[in-house]
Amino acid sequence: MNTKNIQDEENKVWDVVIIGGGPAGMMTAGRAGERGRSVLVLEKNSIFGKKLLLTGGGRCNITNNKTNVREMVERYKTDGKFLYSTFMQHGVTDSVIFFTSKGIALKEENEGRLFPVSNSATTVRDALVTYMEQSKVKVRTNCTVTAITKDQKNGLFYISLLNTKKICAKKCVVASGGVSHPETGSTGECFTWLSLLGHEVQKNDCALVPISLKDTWVKKIAGLTLPDCKVTLYCDGKKQCVQSGKVLFTHVGLSGPLVLNMSKTIGLLLTQGTVTLKLDLLPTHEIGALRKAFRTLLTQESNKKIKNVLGIFIPTGMVGPLLEISGVDGETPNHSLHTCDRAKIVTHMKGFTCTVASLLGADKAIISSGGIIPTEVNFKTMESRLVPGLYLVGDVLNIDRPSGGYSLQLCWSTGFVAGSHV
406-421 vs 92-101: helix crossing angle, rounded to 10: 80
Amino acid at position 338, single letter: H
Higher pLDDT residue, 358 or 365? 358
Q: What is the pLDDT of residue 201?
A: 87
What distance in Å separates the CA atoms of residue 179 and residue 340, rounded to the nearest whole number?
50
Q: What is the pLDDT of residue 181?
A: 47
Q: Is the pLDDT of residue 311 over 70?
A: yes
For residue range 67-124, what is the model confidence (pLDDT) as tens digits?
A: 999 999 999 988 999 999 999 999 999 999 999 999 999 999 988 999 999 999 999 9
For residue range 142-164, what is the model confidence (pLDDT) as tens digits?
A: 999 999 999 999 999 999 998 88
Q: Give the residue-averaged pLDDT of 384-395.
A: 97
Query: Which band of pLDDT confidence, cut at 50, 70 and 90, is reported for residue 165?
Result: confident
Q: Give the residue-averaged pLDDT of 215-238.
A: 94
CB atoms closer than 10 angstroms to residue 296: 10
Query: Which band of pLDDT confidence, cut at 50, 70 and 90, is reported for residue 393?
Result: very high
Mean pLDDT of the residues in the chain = 91
Query: Which band of pLDDT confidence, cut at 50, 70 and 90, is reported for residue 284?
Result: very high
> What is the SS3 assignment for 319?
helix
Predicted structure pTM score: 0.78
For residue range 175-195, what is the model confidence (pLDDT) as tens digits?
A: 997 654 455 445 668 889 999
Query: Which band of pLDDT confidence, cut at 50, 70 and 90, is reported for residue 264?
Result: confident
Query: Which band of pLDDT confidence, cut at 50, 70 and 90, is reported for residue 1?
Result: very low
Q: What is the pLDDT of residue 119?
A: 96
Burial per residue of 192-205, b for 16 or more beta-carbon CB atoms within 10 angstroms, e otherwise: ebbeebebebeebb
Domains, the chain, in order of start with CATH, read 6-207+367-421 (3.50.50.60), 210-360 (1.10.8.50)
Q: Give the residue-averaged pLDDT of 231-248.
A: 95
Q: What is the pLDDT of residue 6?
A: 61
What distance in Å separates the CA atoms of residue 233 and residue 216, rounded to the nearest whole number?
20
Residue 226's beta-bridge partner residues?
247
Query: Which band of pLDDT confidence, cut at 50, 70 and 90, is reported for residue 4?
Result: low
Please give the C-alpha separations between residue 290 and each of 282, 294, 303, in angstroms, as whole numbers.
Answer: 9, 6, 21
What distance in Å separates the CA atoms of residue 406 and residue 413, rounded to the nearest whole number?
10
